[in-house]
Amino acid sequence: MGVGAPIGLLGGSFDPIHNGHLQLGRDALKQLPLQEVRFIPAAQPWQKARITAAEYRARMVQLAIAGEPRFALDMHEIERGGVSYTIDTLHALRSALPDHPLVLIMGTDQFARLDTWRDWREVVDLAHIAVARRGAAALAPSANVHCLLDARRSKPSALTSSRGGSIVEFAMTPVDVSATEVRRLLSESESAEKAQRLSAMVPAVVLDYIDSHRLYRT
């Protein structure tokens, strides 16, 4: 079977989407041979108990990526509903895109804990993994993940030669933001400093949406 163009997959809660997620996607597109990057909001992430309703999170992703032709919103996990496991999403995408290498894009924080994911060894067989190095931040993976990295570390060109199984690293411009910090700031009382900090962390169109739907007030 021939191999199609690799497709990047960026999963997360996106509660809300922020400039760190967008930079991760842009740097992956710039440095890896990807056709596109799909943003996949989780329905119910298995690591998190409380989360904003899926339709708000998906809409914020849609607004944030609207001007970027090689970014797409992927609704697989939200449409499936329930607790989202990457392994189920990969099976669904593999059936829909049988020839394309699938490339899971993630930050070092997620990669270091990969062995806590459901069926993690199968995840790494079904897809490639692209890990973003943020500045000088070192990878501190668990022993399992360390072994995996030793065995599978490859050059970006490996992404085009098979449909999964390699691990590649790429450098990303660090953006110091987390959704936790965005939610914390949004719950604070109004101030010029808060507005200024938020505008450096989240696209204006997303902040307008958050404001008009009164999200993250408490």
Site residues, ligand ATP (CB under 6 A): 12-15, 20-21, 24, 106-107, 109-110, 132, 134, 175, 177-180
Q: Assign 3-class secondary structure to 1-56.
A: CCCCCCEEEEEECCCCCCHHHHHHHHHHHHHCCCCEEEEEECCEECCCCCCCCHHH
Smallest separation (angstroms) from ligand ATP to the CB of 151: 22
State which residue, 4 or 26, has the beta carbon closest to ligand ATP. 26
Q: Which is nearer to ligand ATP, 4 or 183 (CB)?
A: 183
- Closest contact distance (angstroms) between CB of 35 and ligand ATP is 20
Q: Which is nearer to ligand ATP, 3 or 184 (CB)?
A: 184
Q: Closer CB to ligand ATP, residue 79 or residue 109? A: 109
Q: Name the minimum Å distance from CB 25 to ligand ATP.
A: 9
| CA–CA gap between residue 135 and residue 162 (Å, rounded) | 29
Shortest CB 54 distance to ligand ATP, Å? 13
C-alpha to C-alpha distance for 116 and 121, rounded to whole angstroms? 10
Residue 76 Cβ vs ligand ATP, minimum distance, rounded to whole Å: 16
